[in-house]
Amino acid sequence: MIRIWGGHCTGGACLLISGKVRDNMEFVVFAGVLLFLFLFMIVQELMQAKREEKMFRKSLLVNYGKEPPKEYSLERFARLGSYLERHKEENQLDDITWNDLGMDEVFCRIDRTLSAAGEEYLYFTLRNIFCGKETLEHLEEVTGWFLEQDATRVRVQLLLKKLGHLGKYSLYDYLDNLDYLGERNNRKILLLNLLYLLFAALLFVQPAVGILGIVVCMLVHILTYFREKKVIEPYITSFSYVLRMIDVCEELGRQKIPVYKKELEDLNEALKSLRELKRGSFWVMAGNQGKIGGNPLDILADYLRMILHLDIWQFNHMLRKLRQKTDQVDRLLGITGYLDMAISVGGFRRSLEGYCIPQLEEDAKKAYLHMEGGWHPLLTHPVKNSIRADRGVLLTGSNASGKSTFLKMVAVNAVLAQTIHTCTAESYHAPVFRIFSSMALRDSIQNGESYYIVEIRSLKRILDAAQTGTAPVLSFVDEVLRGTNTVERIAAATQILIHLSESGVLCFTATHDIEMTELLKNFYDN
Quick: pLDDT tens for 479-513: 887 767 778 888 888 999 999 998 889 999 988 88
pLDDT band, residue 290 (cuts 50/70/90): very low
Residue 127 pLDDT: 95
Please tell me whether residue 154 adopts helix, strand or coil conformation: helix
Residue 428 pLDDT: 97
pLDDT band, residue 22 (cuts 50/70/90): low
Residue 42 pLDDT: 63
Say if CB 255 and CB 146 are below 8 A apart. no
pLDDT band, residue 385 (cuts 50/70/90): very high
Among 373, 428, 353, 472, smallest CA distance to 136 is for 428
**Average pLDDT over the chain, rounded to whole?**
82
Residue 4 pLDDT: 44
Strands 7-9 and 392-396: unpaired
Cα dist from 438 to 256, 367, 500, whole Å: 46, 19, 13
Helix, strand and coil in the chain, % to nearest 5: 60, 10, 30
**Which of 39-48, 65-74, 252-261, 437-446 has the highest mean predicted lDDT (pLDDT)?**
252-261
Across 363-385, average pLDDT: 90
Residue 292 pLDDT: 40
Give the contacts of 488 (CB within 8 A, at least 6 positions apart): 481
Q: Which residue has the higher pLDDT, 241 or 302?
A: 241
Residue 375 pLDDT: 95
Say if CB 358 and CB 430 are below 8 A apart. yes
Residue 408 pLDDT: 94
Across 424-440, average pLDDT: 93
Give the contacts of 321 (CB within 8 A, at least 6 positions apart): 276, 277
Phi and psi, residue 356, nearest 5°: -135, 155
pLDDT band, residue 23 (cuts 50/70/90): low
Give the contacts of 90 (CB within 8 A, at least 6 positions apart): 130
Across 403-415, average pLDDT: 94
Say if CB 100 and CB 440 are below 8 A apart. yes
CA-to-CA distance for 473 and 469, rounded, in angstroms? 9
Q: What is the CA radius of gyration of the chain?
A: 33
CA-to-CA distance for 441 and 451, rounded, in angstroms? 7
**Which of 71-80, 240-249, 404-413, 463-472 has the highest mean predicted lDDT (pLDDT)?**
404-413
Instruction: Transcribe 51-119 into DSSP letters.
Output: HHHHHHHHHHHHHTTSPP-----HHHHHHTTHHHHTS--TTPPPHHHHHHTTHHHHHHHH----SHHHH
CA-to-CA distance for 70 and 54, rounded, in angstroms? 21
* Helices 403-419/103-110 angle, 10° precision: 50
CA-to-CA distance for 325 and 243, rounded, in angstroms? 13
pLDDT band, residue 190 (cuts 50/70/90): confident
CA-to-CA distance for 180 and 524, rounded, in angstroms? 56
CA-to-CA distance for 349 and 391, rounded, in angstroms? 31
Please tell me whether residue 392 adopts helix, strand or coil conformation: strand
